Amino acid sequence: SILIVDFGSQVTQLIARRVREAGVFCEIVPFQSAEEGFRRLKPKAVILSGGPASTSDIGSPRAPQLIFDSEVPVLGICYGQMAMCVQTGGKAESSDHREFGRAFVKVLKSSPLFEGIWEPGTQHQVWMSHGDRVIDLPKGFEVLAVSDGAPFAAYANEDRKYYGVMFHPEVVHTPDGGKLLANFVHRIAGLESDWSMAGYREQAIREIREKVGDGRVICALSGGVDSSVAALLIHEAIGDRLNCILVDHGLMRKNEAAEVVAMFHDHYNLNLKLVDASDRFILALEGEADPEVKRKTIGRLFIDVFEEEAKAIGGADFLAQGTLYPDVIESVSFTGGPSVTIKSHHNVGGLPERMNMQLVEPLRELFKDEVRLLGRELGLPESFIGRHPFPGPGLAIRCPGGVTREKLDILREADAIYLDEIRKAGLYDAIWQAFAVLLPVQTVGVMGDGRTYEYVCALRAVTSVDGMTADFYHYDMDFLGRAATRIINEVRGINRVVYDVTSKPPGTIEWE
Ligand code: XMP
């Protein structure tokens, strides 16, 4: 296995991801507990991540000396490379010449790190992000590559198998970075590709069993890919000691709740209870127009209903959540003592404290596409795996202006037709997320011989990688015409359809 020591870089998880892609198991530990992690894991190699500190700052973080005493290969990236340099006898300094973003390195020497990708004398694009620079290499090290801003862009002590790179091989903007990391893992550390999603599944199941013991777990299942995969994994681990609750808040898509329940009952024999709480939610939301009040009302009611249902089935010791890595805001604290602050994005925030439960989050190290791979591994149908994201507050935040039962019904129909057209046109998988919004505006139209005065429906579709930024989807106009005609003809209450061409930023994906 490989130990990744985290110095607080924003992209440390990407290193783990590349190592997994190379088929090798790895674990990330914050630098403060790296010594303990090293003893426990007994890794065959160590990767030191980047980070925001400067090695010339007093008290800036270091890798445990144990790592350098143990003779395992080490790859230092960005800050990690600076730390390795100063800890093995070299010198670094803060520099006015900062290099950020795209840069080119020129290869001077061949090395196992570059094997099969970079020849001496060639130039390659990399992604830099650093302010410090090495001024003196430690004894026994030699330069492998240079860049305009960094005379030591890559260097190595081939005897000790220590490698330092100023740039970030883990990001996609270093096109050969994945192969470079694979070289470190396979050729330098000598590890075989023996890790896969099947392996992850077994490991996760073992860890769940260890954590839960003979306790009971409850899970709020939404039918989204994350909660579905988390539930299936836990079900494999502990069987009937998992109880799933699907709260139908009346803000779901057409037929959604029934489809989710049917799938889990038919395919998995999962302990799943559907709770119809739609009246309660809609009563509380009736006429509410303030987006934040809507969100808070829904969140609070969700917790109330979930708590009642959990009590009704005898409570539980653990709450399962499909938290993914991007939801986990992990900050390594440099000044606040030895402990690491990890904030979880609680999908059902507040519940664990209120009900005195611990969290089980088997997906918290994974990215969305890895969760999809795991879902396939668990036999989840493609229709669930490729599902567009759907927000917790559901259709309520797609009904700007006051929410009413009537408006939700109109929106649900329009949304179903829109998605049906998207599927028929074969566009579902090319779009990251698509939905209809019912505007609180009525406009005049003419249908047959009569005047109409009805709502406007806005259609939204975006492409995105992670939901953080997004571009509107560039439909063919014929498609939009087809969808608009069907919505106006088939949905009572809508006589006009518009398309949202706002990207994020400056817009958000949802309208509220
Ligand atoms: P925005 O609108 O912020 O949305 O650009 C980004 C992504 O997050 C989803 N979203 C939510 N998901 N609970 C969720 O589980 C929420 O309260 C929530 N609000 C927005 C949104 O659908 C998009 O995919």
Interface pTM (ipTM) of the complex?
0.98
Counting from 1 in the atom list of ligand 1, the atom nearest the Cα of 507 is: 5
Beta-carbon contacts of 223 under 8 Å, excluding residues fewer than 6 positions away, are 246, 256, 257, 259, 260, 263, 384, 387
| Token reading at 508 | 């958000």
Q: Do domains 212-385 and 404-499 have the same CATH topology?
A: no
CA–centroid distance, residue 226 to ligand 1 (Å): 14
Distance (Å, rounded) from C-alpha 166 to C-alpha 154? 6
Residue with CA closest to ligand 1 atom 3: 508
Give the E-state strand segments of 170-263 in sequence order. 217-220, 242-248
Residues of the chain with pLDDT under 70: 326-350
Counting from 1 in the atom list of ligand 1, the atom nearest the Cα of 389 is: 24
- Single-letter amino acid code for the residue at 488: I
Ligand 1 pocket test, pick from 222, 398, 509, 512 with the greatest ligand atom count within 8 Å of Cβ, gives 509
Distance (Å, rounded) from C-alpha 123 to C-alpha 106? 4
Measured from the CB, is residue 393 less than 6 Å from ligand 1?
Answer: yes
pLDDT given for residue 194 in this prediction:
87
CA–centroid distance, residue 37 to ligand 1 (Å): 35
Q: What phi, psi does 74 have (nearest 5°)?
A: -130, 135
CA–centroid distance, residue 362 to ligand 1 (Å): 21
CATH of 404-499, one of 3.40.630.30, 3.30.300.10, 1.10.260.40, 1.10.10.10: 3.30.300.10
Q: How far is CA 478 from CA 298, 299, 499, 502, in A?
A: 38, 39, 13, 20
pLDDT given for residue 355 in this prediction:
76
Residue 62 burial by CB count (10 A; 0-12/13-18/19+): exposed, middle or buried?
middle
Region for residue 287 given its phi and psi (left: phi exceeds 0; alpha: psi -120 to 50; beta: otherwise):
left
SS3 148: coil
pLDDT given for residue 411 in this prediction:
98
- Single-letter amino acid code for the residue at 221: L
CA–centroid distance, residue 296 to ligand 1 (Å): 14
DSSP class of residue 338 equals S
Distance (Å, rounded) from C-alpha 91 to C-alpha 134? 6
CA–centroid distance, residue 277 to ligand 1 (Å): 22
Measured from the CB, is residue 326 less than 6 Å from ligand 1?
Answer: no
Measured from the CB, is residue 252 less than 6 Å from ligand 1?
Answer: no
Counting from 1 in the atom list of ligand 1, the atom nearest the Cα of 510 is: 2
Ligand 1 pocket test, pick from 327, 510, 512 with the greatest ligand atom count within 8 Å of Cβ, gives 510
Measured from the CB, is residue 62 less than 6 Å from ligand 1?
Answer: no
pLDDT given for residue 328 in this prediction:
60
Q: What phi, psi does 253 have (nearest 5°)?
A: -70, 170
Counting from 1 in the atom list of ligand 1, the atom nearest the Cα of 397 is: 19
Superfamily grouping for domain 212-385 = HUPs (3.40.50.620)
Strand 433-447 and strand 494-499: the pairing is unpaired
Distance (Å, rounded) from C-alpha 56 to C-alpha 274? 58
Q: What is the per-residue DSSP string for 360-391?
A: E-TTTT--HHHHHHHHHHTT--HHHHTPPP--
CA–centroid distance, residue 141 to ligand 1 (Å): 49
Q: Where are the domains of the chain?
A: 2-188, 212-385, 404-499
Binding site per annotation, positions for ATP: 222-228
pLDDT given for residue 349 in this prediction:
57
Strand 154-157 and strand 142-147: the pairing is antiparallel
Measured from the CB, is residue 433 less than 6 Å from ligand 1?
Answer: yes
Distance (Å, rounded) from C-alpha 147 to C-alpha 51? 20
Residue with CA closest to ligand 1 atom 14: 391
- The pTM score is 0.77
Q: How far is CA 255 from CA 224, 262, 280, 328, 397, in A?
A: 14, 11, 19, 31, 19
Distance (Å, rounded) from C-alpha 361 to C-alpha 364? 6
Q: H-helix or E-strand containing 116?
A: none
pLDDT given for residue 95 in this prediction:
76
Residue 270 burial by CB count (10 A; 0-12/13-18/19+): exposed, middle or buried?
buried
- Residues that are catalytic: 78, 168, 170
Within 269-399, residue ranges assigned H as helices are 278-285, 291-312, 351-354, 368-377, 382-385
Residue with CA closest to ligand 1 atom 20: 391
Counting from 1 in the atom list of ligand 1, the atom nearest the Cα of 347 is: 15
Q: H-helix or E-strand containing 77?
A: strand 74-77
pLDDT given for residue 169 in this prediction:
97
Binding site per annotation, positions: 222-228
SS3 236: helix
Residue with CA closest to ligand 1 atom 22: 391
pLDDT given for residue 350 in this prediction:
64
Secondary structure tally for the chain: helices H, strands E = 15, 20
pLDDT given for residue 298 in this prediction:
93
pLDDT given for residue 245 in this prediction:
96
Distance (Å, rounded) from C-alpha 76 to C-alpha 67? 12
Distance (Å, rounded) from C-alpha 68 to C-alpha 214? 41
Measured from the CB, is residue 149 less than 6 Å from ligand 1?
Answer: no
CATH of 2-188, one of 3.20.20.80, 3.40.50.880, 1.10.3210.10, 3.40.190.10: 3.40.50.880
Residue with CA closest to ligand 1 atom 6: 467
Closest C-alpha among 375, 391, 415, 404 to residue 508: 391
